[in-house]
C-alpha cells in the first residue's frame, strides 16, 4: 500500500468503542485511510491487513505524508503515541482526538498552522 498523499486525513481507533465513530468518519468520506482497532469485526480493514503492525508503526509510516490524523481514544494515549514523531510546529500534521462516544473533538496538535481547529469544527458538525 502506498502512503496517503499530503493533504489527506487518516484515522486511528483504540478499542471496540471507537468503531462507530470511525464508521461515521468513513461514511462521510472525511478520512482516506483508517486503522481499525485490532480484534474488531471490520472486514478488509487495516487491522486485518496488518495484524502485527503496532499503532505506533502504522502512524509513524504516515506521519510525514498526511495533513492530519483523527484519533478516537484517550488524549493521554494519543499524546504518548505522537510525542516521538514531533518535528516542528510548521511541519507536523494536525492531530484531532475524539472521545469514543463521539461527544468531544479536541485539537491536540496543529490548531492554527495545520488546521486542527477547522477540522474539529468539521468533525463536530458531522458527529452532531
Question: Which pLDDT score is estimated for 109?
Answer: 87
* Model confidence, pTM: 0.86
Secondary structure (3-state) at 4: coil
62 has pLDDT over 50? yes
Identify the weakest region by mean pLDDT among 16-20, 51-55, 82-86, 119-123: 51-55
Question: Which pLDDT score is estimated for 47?
Answer: 44
Per-residue buried b or exposed e for 9-22, using 16+ beta carbons within 10 Å of the residue's own CB? bbbbbbeebbbebb
CA dist 45 and 125 (Å) reads 25
Where in 77-122 does DSSP place strands (E)? 94-98, 105-109
The arrangement of strands across the sheet holding 105-109 comes to 33-35, 9-13, 68-72, 94-98, 105-109
CA dist 53 and 38 (Å) reads 10
Amino acid at each position: 500500500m502506498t502512503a496517503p498523499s499530503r493533504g489527506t486525513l487518516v484515522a486511528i481507533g483504540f478499542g471496540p468503542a471507537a468503531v462507530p465513530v470511525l464508521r461515521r468518519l468513513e461514511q462521510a468520506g472525511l478520512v482516506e485511510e483508517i486503522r481499525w482497532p485490532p480484534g474488531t469485526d471490520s472486514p478488509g480493514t487495516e487491522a486485518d491487513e496488518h495484524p502485527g503492525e503496532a499503532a505506533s508503526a502504522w502512524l509513524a509510516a504516515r506521519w510525514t505524508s498526511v495533513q492530519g490524523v483523527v484519533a478516537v481514544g484517550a488524549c493521554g494515549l494519543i499524546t504518548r503515541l505522537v510525542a516521538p514523531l514531533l518535528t516542528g510546529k510548521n511541519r507536523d500534521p494536525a492531530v484531532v482526538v475524539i472521545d469514543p462516544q463521539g461527544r468531544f473533538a479536541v485539537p491536540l496538535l496543529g490548531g492554527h498552522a495545520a488546521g486542527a481547529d477547522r477540522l474539529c469544527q468539521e468533525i463536530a458538525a458531522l458527529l452532531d
